Structure 1
Amino acid sequence: MYDYRQCPEDHYAYTIQPGDTLNSIAFRLENSVSRILASNPGIDPYNLRIGQIICIPACPPNHRPIIIQPGDTLYRISQQYRVTIASILEANPSVDPNYLRVGQRICIQTACAMV
């Protein structure tokens, strides 16, 4: 068993499972391999160990994560957080704007005015 790893506030811990690759983790967690690697200096992407704990960035810089609630739409979220729909889609390239899932994590810019 590996020691608990403390991740920065804007990250969350992920425990490597059998069959995991950085590509599969990035796809499943709607992230990018390059951001995961940057958040875990020194890990060997070709030698992940089951039980190894890595840190997953929750959102890009100047963004914060939100969780999709029942009834949420991109329009409603853009109005609530005073951001553009385009900025939401840019920060979340894997999000299907026509199919938001309750419980899905997306990133919202924290310093963006409506245009």
Structure 2
Amino acid sequence: MPSTNNFVRQCAENQYPYIIQQGDTLFIIAYRLDTTVSSILRTNRGLDPYNLQVGQSICIPACPPNHNAYIIQTGDTLWRIAQTHGVTIKSILEANPSVEPDYLRVGQRICIPNCEVCLN
């Protein structure tokens, strides 16, 4: 029987769709996409984490409210990112609990707080 889940879900602003792949678990997805299982579950009310279907579309939270997504570039450090965005390293780490400060990955998405804790 063909799956009815093979469509890309319309996700809210500050979210993006993800298609479940063979072998995916919410833990694996959360780790790979730098989010948490609880955030994925909050974003996808009614999602059964024990019954994910290959081809199923779910929404991944991009960043919390009042935060902007930033993609790590070659040569980036948390200090440089904090200086560029006018925030503290502490505020970046609080917004991204899974980020290893000394092991930023090029292409990794992190969330930068809107200048709530400005350095000015």
Question: Any idea what the Cα deviations from partners look like across 1:2-51, whole Å, max 9, x if unmatched?
Answer: 22211112011110011111111112211111110111112111111100
Specify which of 73, 85, 105 is matched with residue 81 of structure 1. Answer: 85
In 2, distance between residues paired with 1:56 and 1:18? 18
Asked if 1:27 is matched to 2:31, the reply is: yes
Q: Which moved more, 1:39-48 or 1:80-89?
A: 39-48
Question: Any idea what the Cα deviations from partners look like across 1:54-77, whole Å, max 9, x if unmatched?
Answer: 000011221110011122111111
Asked if 1:58 is matched to 2:30, the reply is: no
* Residue identity matched to 1:74: L
1:75-114 maps to which residues of 2 (within 5 A)?
A: 75-112=79-116, 113-114=118-119
Post-superposition, which runs of at least 4 consecutive aligned residues in structure 1 deviate over 2 A? none
Partner of 1:11: 15
Question: Could you say what the CA RMSD is over the residues aligned between the two structures, in angstroms?
Answer: 1.4
Partner secondary structure for residue 3 of structure 1: coil
Specify which of 30, 52, 66 is matched with residue 48 of structure 1. Answer: 52
Partner of 1:37: 41
* Residue identity matched to 1:41: R
Unmatched 5+ stretches in structure 1: none
Partner secondary structure for residue 66 of structure 1: strand
In 2, distance between residues paired with 1:4 and 1:14? 8
8 A Cα contact 2:74 2:106, kept in partner: yes
Unmatched 5+ stretches in structure 2: none
